[in-house]
Structure 1
Amino acid sequence: MFAVRTGTRLASVAATKNALAKTQWRWSSAVSTGYRKTRELASLGGADYEAPSLVIFDKDGTLLCFHTMWIPWIQHAAQSIESSTGLVLFPQIAKALGLCLIENKVKPGLLAEGTTGQIAHEISTLLMDNGIKSFEARELTNNSLTTSNDQIIANELVKELSDTVSLFTRLKHHGTKIAVCTADNRKSSLLALKRMNVDHMVDMVVCGDDKNTVPKPSPHNALKICQHLNIEPSKAIMVGDTRVDMEMAHNAELGAAVGVLSGIGCKDHLHRADILLDHVGLLVNTFYETRL
């Protein structure tokens, strides 16, 4: 349970560094022994609870509308590949990445939870399964994903799910550090934060194409953020819309895993969340005394 004032000494920052060094062991252990049991929910925000010192946000589906950005992205990428190969591949690509063509919605899967590298590998493999040579498949995939990223940026497909400036301003008022941990690439992520006018309020950004990172649900990126910002993991929370966001929080032993229902995940998909919110705009009133 998050930051209950019991008088028990919290882990030191040195312990955070040790935890980061042991990330691989911890992750393997979590896979083999199962995750921690879901923690007891509490009515947070009262005098008996401490506010988090760090909030780690997922980006798409949490701060930004996932479907507005990524359905056009996958459509453009598939169209580019089909134009180059003469093959009808969109249904296969959509299925592989988790886009339901009947509902025209992204479901939990690789597009929602994977990195650009993982997505590229899946598409390349699909092309090779359809008779495209490996080198050509990789080149076609990389070119299509690059042009799709540029298309999203050019069309400004950035739709906020809440008033992000207000949210981040309130968090800063409480002395809270802010990080963003996303599977998206760094170029697109930084541009999105700039367009939301919050880039100057974010203390750290970790992206899927950064070096020395490990995809969610590994605890590595969360522990890396805590170490860099000098915050004990137990005093940080993770806010996201997918299963891997929640599992990363538990694997890193963060103070709480906060699920939001504004993105890909439904209540069943986010069953490991300690707290469920309809959208990220409710975060401050949930974790802090309402003083603004």
Structure 2
Amino acid sequence: MKTAHSTNGFKAVLFDKDGTLFNFNETWGHFCDLMFDTLAGDDEPLKDRLAEVCGYDRASRTFKTGSLIVNASADEVNEAWSGLLPDRSLEEIVSLNHEVYASLPVFPTCDLSGVMTDLRDLGLKLGVATNDYEAGAVTQLQEASAMTLFDFVCGSDSGFGRKPEAGMVHGFCERMDIEPHEIIFVGDSTHDMDCARNADVGLSVAVLTGPATEEQLTGHADVILPSIGSLPGYLASRDVK
């Protein structure tokens, strides 16, 4: 078993969820399709407007880089949809959000158990920080049989603020009794990398399993990897300091 020293003094990894642990387009494409079917019924133009405001292309079932559904919190997305649905209350939309999300299938980007076990073998604590609701994150991780792999899970409603603010990182630090420079932050968007920079983490890692391209992520992260599956090998290959 490898020891913590092979990580150059890093003590923990904090992961974004969607696009990092789980396939973004598959997860949120299903989510949007189900939400629109309930919110708009047979009104195709309304579905198109709901999709446009959150940055979803219904035809290709993909999302625009930097769009609301990619970068914003769940509350912000629900509020944007609410503005197009005068006959539905925000509370109704939020309730539907929770109901639909709980029914979604899960699409991990890799063998989560294998990757997280390798990282734990390096002596690292593991956490998840998402702009989704905390309950949604917990449900998804449980469905993937991955909840027990993590020491910390927080969402935009957990009391730590939203990314790209630094609060989620600081909350993780407090819970794990570590400092930001001892954290590796892993995400798939410039929003995630901005959070890493704002929190002054020790290493920011971007992965290419979300909507953002390598070109778009270049200059925002310390390193860019194909997926989180490459992270244990990357850390193990670093020179011991």
TM over 0.5: yes
- Unaligned ranges ≥5, structure 2: none
> What is the CA distance between 1:74 and its match in structure 2?
0.7
The corresponding residue for 2:166 is 219
Query: Is the CA contact (8 Å cut-off) linking 2:16 and 2:188 kept in structure 1?
Result: yes
Alpha-carbon separation, structure 2, partners of 1:48 and 1:174: 7
Query: Is the CA contact (8 Å cut-off) linking 1:180 and 1:202 kept in structure 2?
Result: yes
> What is the CA distance between 1:266 and its match in structure 2?
0.8
Alpha-carbon separation, structure 2, partners of 1:170 and 1:73: 31
From the superposition, tell whether residues 139 and 178 of structure 1 become closer, same or farther in structure 2 (CA, over 3 Å).
Answer: closer
1:238 and 2:190 are equivalent in the alignment: no
Percent of matched pairs sharing the same residue = 25
Corresponding letter in the other structure for 1:106: F
Query: Is the CA contact (8 Å cut-off) linking 2:7 and 2:122 kept in structure 1?
Result: no
> What is the CA distance between 1:151 and its match in structure 2?
3.0
| CA root-mean-square deviation | 2.2
* 3-state SS, counterpart of residue 157 of structure 2: coil
From the superposition, tell whether residues 144 and 216 of structure 1 become closer, same or farther in structure 2 (CA, over 3 Å).
Answer: same
Alpha-carbon separation, structure 1, partners of 2:144 and 2:96: 26
What is the TM-score when the length of structure 2 is the normalising length? 0.88
The corresponding residue for 1:8 is none
> What is the CA distance between 1:57 and its match in structure 2?
0.5
Alpha-carbon separation, structure 1, partners of 2:9 and 2:217: 22
Alpha-carbon separation, structure 1, partners of 2:127 and 2:90: 32
* 3-state SS, counterpart of residue 180 of structure 1: strand
Alpha-carbon separation, structure 1, partners of 2:78 and 2:151: 29
Query: Is the CA contact (8 Å cut-off) linking 2:6 and 2:236 kept in structure 1?
Result: no
Tell me which of 116, 119, 125 is aligned to 1:171. Answer: 119
1:91 and 2:48 are equivalent in the alignment: yes
1:276 and 2:234 are equivalent in the alignment: no
Alpha-carbon separation, structure 1, partners of 2:146 and 2:60: 33
> What is the CA distance between 1:121 and its match in structure 2?
0.8
* 3-state SS, counterpart of residue 221 of structure 1: helix
* 3-state SS, counterpart of residue 56 of structure 1: strand
- Unaligned ranges ≥5, structure 1: 1-46
What is the TM-score when the length of structure 1 is the normalising length? 0.74
1:115 and 2:73 are equivalent in the alignment: yes
From the superposition, tell whether residues 48 and 218 of structure 1 become closer, same or farther in structure 2 (CA, over 3 Å).
Answer: same
Tell me which of 64, 72, 85 is aligned to 2:22. Answer: 64
Answer with 1 or 2: which has the greater Rg: 1
Map residues 147-166 of structure 1 onto 2, 5 A cutoff: 147-152=99-104, 157-166=105-114
The corresponding residue for 2:214 is 267
Tell me which of 84, 87, 109 is aligned to 1:126. Answer: 84
Tell me which of 181, 195, 209 is aligned to 1:248. Answer: 195
